[in-house]
Structure 1
Amino acid sequence: MTATSETSNRLLFRNVRVFDGSSADLVSGDVLIDGTFIAAVSESPVGDDPARRTTVVDGGGRVLMPGMSDAHVHLVGNANSYVDMVMGTEAHIALNGLAEAKNMLHRGFTAVRDMAGDTGSIKSVIDRGLFEGPRIYPSQAAISQTGGHGDFGFVYECPTALGGNQSRAEQIGFMRVADGPDRVLAAVREQLKKGASQIKLMVGGGAASMYDPLYTVQFVDEELRAAVHAATDYGTYVATHVYNVTGIRRALDAGVRSIEHGHLADEATIALMADKGVWLSMQPFALGDHHYPDPDRADKDREICSGTDHVYAWAKKHGVKTAWGTDLLLEPQLAPRQSEMAARLGDHYSNLEALRMLTSGNAELFRMAGERDPYQQAEFGTIEKGAWADVLLVDGNPLEDLGLLADPAKNLSVIVKNGQVVKNIL
């Protein structure tokens, strides 16, 4: 809801250096927030309004930057262990997800794109201002073929396509297994009905799943095209989990607009993504980001991590539109690694390039949801007049030291989301 000048409070940052989400030049001055929007960015002092209540924050020359975003999170998957997901009630799983949403906001992430999980209720509570958390772009359940990366049914269970019962992952809305164009269409439309802003499909093997090798290609052309058709009819797009070359190329041919991961791509495939204007939603994976109890999945994780450096280098070389995400999953104790992985972008990009990706770059990807964009009334990932009032005051200059982002408790002095101060340690 847009706040009016009669009812909203004014929040004025004085004496700050502004990183606007794209420019290498910091602009010194004042930033005025009126209600839920940025009202002014001025190099000269912003005047008072005696008729209005104004909260003034003296930035002391600190850097004010847009709130960060994470293009690949699993709120419920990140907040719950495997045991929680299997044994916990749906309320237990959702409340853990809500708590983790607050934690993400306090790490400076004011918007996230959730890529598998039933987050509709969490999003509703946050959007109504009843609990702290980021803006959420939900995918709802990720869609998988039988035996694909999102099929968490046990091998001795009859598949749903052959009359069996849903797996636990389907029962809690984390995954949806669908085979054949008709069922894929139904699965896509089901997620849109539940409020998905974009659609997530599994198009190749992964490390977290127990029995699909990384080389597998999942969903045939007709199934992929059906999903893309249904999403396009709703004004949005399909994103696909996939690592290998064949799967990426099949997804590109079907009209998929965002490749999630892609760590096992070759240079020619990355160049093709650039030619087609398709996004690479990448994660700076390193050994230790995930832990697997069996050697097969640990081996898959090592193979994925081995591709990180190459793919980032090729993406930069060919000018691929690249987003940043984390994809942490089923290890709640590792959730704070989100901040470390943001700072790790500095291993592959300049600080400016990394900060753009974390703010305005990711926001551009999120905006591909079109009419499904739940926050389309204003821009985010930028500090400019009329943008959503999502900002961070950093104790230091991240353009000079990206590592500041790895310790948000210490270095993020003020966090504002939707015009509300959620943290102030000045």
Structure 2
Amino acid sequence: MGDAGEHQRPLRHTGQLNGEGSMGAKLTAMYGVVAVALLMAAAPVVAQDGQAATSETNETLFQNVRIFDGTSPRLSEPTNVLVRGNLIAAIGGEARPTASTKVIQGSGRTLMPGLIDAHVHLAFGALTMAELASPDLTPAKAGEAAAANATQTLMRGFTTVRDVGGPIFEVKKLIDTGRVAGPRIWPSGPTISQTSGHGDYRTPGEGPRRWTGKASQAELLGAGYIADGRPEVLAATREALRGGASQIKLMAGGGTSSAYDPLDVTQYTLDEMKAAVEAAEDWGTYVAVHAYTPRAVRRAIEAGVLVIEHGQLLDEDTLKLMAQRGIWLSLQRLQDSTPDMTAQRREKREPLIEGQERVWPLAKKLGVKLAWGTDFLFDPQQNAQQNAYILRLKTWFSSAEILKLVTHDNAQLLALSGLRSPYRGELGVVRKGALADLILVNGDPLANIDLVADPERNFAVIMKDGKIYKGQ
């Protein structure tokens, strides 16, 4: 976990400005116990189905399987796949077991890449809005919830996720060191927002840090930074990168779950947005922005942003521009408003739900680079529907296109992080030399895509990084 001092927030975000108070020291003490609390909370989850299988050998042979390789619209003929260590070592005639190789009988079932969700919030998705705003919420409690969510995500077959905002760095370390079962995480860390922006998570009783000298609870939790002007945006971006961000998440427009900003507003000036892009580019990575409207997206593109998150209100001209520039659209298909949503949030979502019915097919037609994610927020019960949300794409995509989108295509988006990618190797495909993130499916998902919606019944084996987390 490293020294607790590594996780101190910068003075500008802790409220310890000009020597005021001892908030920085208190924060250091809080983070010093995060690892212990996470381990204690996650242990019961990991000790059962989520625990990686141990074996005397580091070889596994999937025998007599048909392969969906991540790109082909057809399954392969029955074949064998050999995993050695964390890589796919051989396919076909070269895949021969030794006396110590663990053999899994495929019996003609489908072997496919692990699923990838390109837009998650493991912490925010594990907490309600009331919990996030509660003064009782500590970094340790938020981490416990995120760790449990991560384990459940892996057990649904999502071997990789891109976490685009929230306190996730500590959980990722626990996963990567094998102390918590969970997917590979491409983390953004704290979101970066202007005052009154979509990432301004202050409660009504919290004043501005600039004048009160006190950071908001959300900033102390590592949920987000409020940064105004080029110097603050540069500093916030660099702080996120220092913490381990593989890409930067910037709020460029209004949102449905934020209290202060209407959906139509454009956030951050061009110069502020360029500051984030320049700082990210210096680290060899990119900025993704939360934005819905053509005005916000066009400003982001002008600033050098490479990925647009959401975009359900985009027009045809802006989508054409994105296609021409090679800008990614990381899109979701939202569910209809639920009764437990606030009236404000329900009203904000209505134009997005209407707009997504037009944007998805139009973006596909125009050749925009598409990625898919769920974006579950503040409704922990919704997480269990993660696989079912893949089926919402059936309106516009074939089964083969859907599977390619949630494996190979999402992996191409992850590759934008370049040298800041936290894992080395090829994801989203089944081919020799690729990372061994694999699912053995009971049946043919190309013929029946509905199989992926019930991972408990239909995913016989889930392997991540060459280790089996579910199955034999």
TM-score, structure 2 normalization: 0.85
1:106-255 → structure 2 map (5 Å cutoff): 106-155=155-204, 157-255=206-304
How big is each residue's C-alpha offset from its partner over 1:42-92, in whole Å with a ceiling of 9 and x where there is no partner?
1x4732323xx2111111111100001000000111112223323322111
Residue 228 of structure 1 deviates from its aligned partner by: 0.2
Which residue matches 1:326?
374
Report if the CA contact (8 A) 1:10-1:33 is conserved. yes
SS at match of 1:329: coil
Report if the CA contact (8 A) 1:309-1:348 is conserved. no
For residue 85 of structure 2, the aligned residue among 17, 32, 35 is: 35
Residue 155 of structure 1 deviates from its aligned partner by: 4.5
Q: Which runs of 5+ in 2 are unaligned?
A: 1-55
SS at match of 1:211: coil
1:81-96 → structure 2 map (5 Å cutoff): 81-85=128-132, 86=134, 87-96=136-145
Further displaced range: 148-157 or 109-118: 148-157
User: Could you say if the C-alpha distance between residues 207 and 164 of structure 1 is closer, same or farther in structure 2, counting changes exceeding 3 Å?
Assistant: farther
SS at match of 2:292: strand
1:69-108 → structure 2 map (5 Å cutoff): 69-85=116-132, 86=134, 87-108=136-157
Residue 125 of structure 1 deviates from its aligned partner by: 1.0
Structure 2 CA distance for aligned equivalents of residues 128 and 321 of structure 1:
33
How big is each residue's C-alpha offset from its partner over 1:334-371, in whole Å with a ceiling of 9 and x where there is no partner?
11121111122222211111111100100000010011
Structure 1 CA distance for aligned equivalents of residues 212 and 231 of structure 2:
16
Residue 271 of structure 1 deviates from its aligned partner by: 0.9
Which residue matches 1:393?
440
Report if the CA contact (8 A) 1:243-1:265 is conserved. yes
Structure 2 CA distance for aligned equivalents of residues 391 and 302 of structure 1:
37
Structure 1 CA distance for aligned equivalents of residues 57 and 209 of structure 2:
52
Report if the CA contact (8 A) 1:393-1:413 is conserved. yes
Residue 26 of structure 1 deviates from its aligned partner by: 1.3
Residue 167 of structure 1 deviates from its aligned partner by: 1.9
Report if the CA contact (8 A) 2:82-2:96 is conserved. no
Q: Structure 1: which amino acid aligns with 2:379?
A: E
Which residue matches 1:47?
96
Runs of at least 4 residues off by over 6 Å: none
Q: Structure 1: which amino acid aligns with 2:418?
A: G
SS at match of 1:136: strand
Residue 381 of structure 1 deviates from its aligned partner by: 0.6
Q: Structure 2: which amino acid aligns with 1:32?
A: L
Percent sequence identity over aligned pairs:
45
Structure 2 CA distance for aligned equivalents of residues 291 and 113 of structure 1:
29
Q: Structure 2: which amino acid aligns with 1:417?
A: K
Report if the CA contact (8 A) 2:323-2:366 is conserved. yes
1:374-389 → structure 2 map (5 Å cutoff): 374-376=422-424, 378-389=425-436
User: Could you say if the C-alpha distance between residues 286 and 19 of structure 1 is closer, same or farther in structure 2, counting changes exceeding 3 Å?
Assistant: same
Structure 1 CA distance for aligned equivalents of residues 188 and 63 of structure 2:
39
Which residue matches 1:4?
none
Q: Structure 2: which amino acid aligns with 1:167?
A: S
Q: Structure 2: which amino acid aligns with 1:296?
A: Q
Residue 170 of structure 1 deviates from its aligned partner by: 1.1
Residue 164 of structure 1 deviates from its aligned partner by: 4.6
Structure 1 CA distance for aligned equivalents of residues 397 and 306 of structure 2:
23
Report if the CA contact (8 A) 2:88-2:436 is conserved. yes
Report if the CA contact (8 A) 1:292-1:298 is conserved. no
Q: Does 1:355 align with 2:403?
A: yes
Report if the CA contact (8 A) 2:74-2:446 is conserved. no
Q: Structure 2: which amino acid aligns with 1:165?
A: K
Structure 1 CA distance for aligned equivalents of residues 96 and 421 of structure 2:
34
Report if the CA contact (8 A) 1:360-1:380 is conserved. yes
Report if the CA contact (8 A) 2:332-2:372 is conserved. yes
Which residue matches 2:331?
282
Q: Structure 2: which amino acid aligns with 1:396?
A: G
Structure 2 CA distance for aligned equivalents of residues 115 and 349 of structure 1:
25
Structure 1 CA distance for aligned equivalents of residues 211 and 253 of structure 2:
22
Structure 1 CA distance for aligned equivalents of residues 97 and 60 of structure 2:
11
Structure 2 CA distance for aligned equivalents of residues 206 and 291 of structure 1:
19
Structure number having the greater helix percentage: 2
Structure 2 CA distance for aligned equivalents of residues 154 and 395 of structure 1:
48
User: Could you say if the C-alpha distance between residues 294 and 47 of structure 1 is closer, same or farther in structure 2, counting changes exceeding 3 Å?
Assistant: closer
Report if the CA contact (8 A) 2:126-2:379 is conserved. yes
Structure number having the greater strand percentage: 1
Which residue matches 1:406?
453
1:253-332 → structure 2 map (5 Å cutoff): 253-288=302-337, 293-332=341-380
Q: Structure 2: which amino acid aligns with 1:40?
A: A
Structure 2 CA distance for aligned equivalents of residues 163 and 219 of structure 1:
23
Count of matched residue pairs: 414
Q: Structure 1: which amino acid aligns with 2:444?
A: N
Which residue matches 2:103?
56
Residue 326 of structure 1 deviates from its aligned partner by: 0.6
Q: Which runs of 5+ in 1 are unaligned?
A: 1-6
